[in-house]
Amino acid sequence: RRRELLAGFRGPGRTADGHPVALLVNLGAPHELAGAAAADAEGVGLFRTEFLFLDRAEAPGPAEQAAAYRQVFAAFAGRRVVVRTLDAGADKPLPFATAADEPNPALGVRGLRTAARDPQLLETQLAAIAEAARDSTAQVWVMAPMVSVPREAAAFAARVRAHGLPTAGAMIEVPAAALRTDRLAESCDFFSVGTNDLAQYAFAADRTLGSLAELLDPWQPALLELVATAAASAAAQGRPIGVCGEAAGDPALALVLVGLGITSLSAAPASLPEVRAALAAHTLAQCRALAELALRADDADTARGQVRSSMSAR
Ligand code: PEP
Ligand code: MG
């Protein structure tokens, strides 16, 4: 019965009063492509490109990369594809991109920082993305992982545009970036909040440690406050700001995120129907009221409990 009910909601994400919220899918491996493309989604909100680089002694060449990107763009013809450039390091070490001897890899040369040390790695990837985008109708947006300061975002956006790719953005997954999203907006066209890393860095809690799950809970009010700050800055600068971390797939939390000013949600294809239905059952004003409740809570459990019990019955 639940499935029948959900089947009644299709098409672009909207609140009950018609406020659009783009619903997108996360994509991280070739075997996910068919399912992702078949999902009722406006595109890909996070294309994790690491799979191309893992378990290899050297980075894949431009032709091999372009072929892989072309497949994804073809499957999403006419839709948006947000490609994240290589996010190596920390939980994704790569022998050719990251140092094996860093004492704290999560705080080391990872994400976009690897491009400062080896610019060719990023150049090759951008050239391959640009080549694949050239013969495709997909709207290709390119974003960098692990941006901390405006200078990094500006350097990245300049490289993206030098390859003829018009839309450059940054992930917001370091607290410094969340606090200063307005400054990043000087060079970025869009933003995407990675709640997994943003929680890790905000709470100084290793995201791979199950014993720290309570601190890493995406309902933590301090995490939501960082998202609110970033979203308000993005709105003031007229930039879209999505969430692509795992939090976006929780329907109750999705309402809160929209209430905080988030403009798109990217999650696993299977979680989108529930998120779409929750949005359709609440107005933007109701989402804002739920966001206020969550921000005022003292802890994650209280935030989650109060929001869930205040949601409209469906
Ligand atoms: C995140 O950090 O929330 C994110 C979406 O990126 P990843 O999980 O790939 O680090
Ligand atoms: Mg991340």
Region of residue 191 (phi > 0: left; psi between -120 and 50: alpha; otherwise: beta):
beta
pLDDT more than 70, % of the chain: 98
197 pocket-lining for ligand 1 (C-beta < 6 Å): yes
The token pair at 223 is 């995490």
Task: Say if pTM beats, i.e. exceeds, 0.90.
Answer: yes
User: Residue 218: CB within 6 Å of ligand 1?
Assistant: no
- How confident is the model over 195-231, as pLDDT tens digits? 999 999 999 999 999 999 999 999 999 999 999 999 9
- Ligand 2 centroid to residue 84 C-alpha, Å: 10
Residue having the nearest C-alpha atom to atom 6 of ligand 1: 194
H-type alpha helices, 163-220: 175-179, 181-184, 195-202
Per-residue pLDDT band for 271 (boundaries 50, 70, 90) equals very high
- Whether the Cβ atoms of residue 248 and residue 266 lie closer than 8 Å to each other: yes
Q: Is 244 in the pocket of ligand 1 (CB under 6 A)?
A: yes
Q: For residues 300 and 278, give the distance between their C-alpha atoms in angstroms, rounded to a whole number.
A: 20
SS3 268: coil
26 Cα nearest atom in ligand 1: 5
| DSSP structure class, residue 26 | E
Give me 191's structure tokens. Answer: 């933003």
Distance, in Å, from the CA atom of 224 to the CA atom of 156, rounded to the nearest integer, reads 27
CA of 127 to the centre of ligand 1 (A): 24
pLDDT digits (tens, 9 = 90+) for 42-92: 999 999 999 999 999 999 999 999 999 999 999 999 999 999 999 999 888
Tens digit of each residue's pLDDT (9 = 90 or more) over 107-119: 999 999 999 989 9
Q: Which residue, 210, 198, 174, 184, is CA-closest to 247?
A: 198
287 noted as active-site residue: no
48 lines ligand 1 (CB under 6 A): yes
How many whole angstroms separate alpha carbon 85 and alpha carbon 141? 11
Identify any residues that bridge with 82 across adjacent strands, giving them in sequence order.
141
d(CA 12, CA 63): 34
Q: How confident is the model at residue 281 (pLDDT cuts 50, 70, 90)?
A: very high
Average pLDDT, the chain: 96
308 is in an annotated binding site: no
Token digits for 12?
């672009």
What per-residue confidence (pLDDT) applies to 147? Answer: 98
Given the CA of residue 196, which atom of ligand 1 is nearest to it?
3
pLDDT of residue 1: 64
How confident is the model over 155-191, as pLDDT tens digits?
A: 999 999 999 999 999 999 999 999 999 999 999 999 9
- Look at residue 6 in the predicted model and tell me its pLDDT: 75
Q: Per-residue confidence at 11, pLDDT binned at 50, 70, 90? A: confident
pLDDT digits (tens, 9 = 90+) for 239-258: 999 999 999 999 999 999 99
ipTM over 0.90: yes
Residues with Cβ < 8 Å from 7, sequence gap 6 or more? 273
The residue whose CA has the least distance to atom 9 of ligand 1 is 48
Reduced to 3 states (helix: H, G, I; strand: E, B; else coil), residue 252 is helix
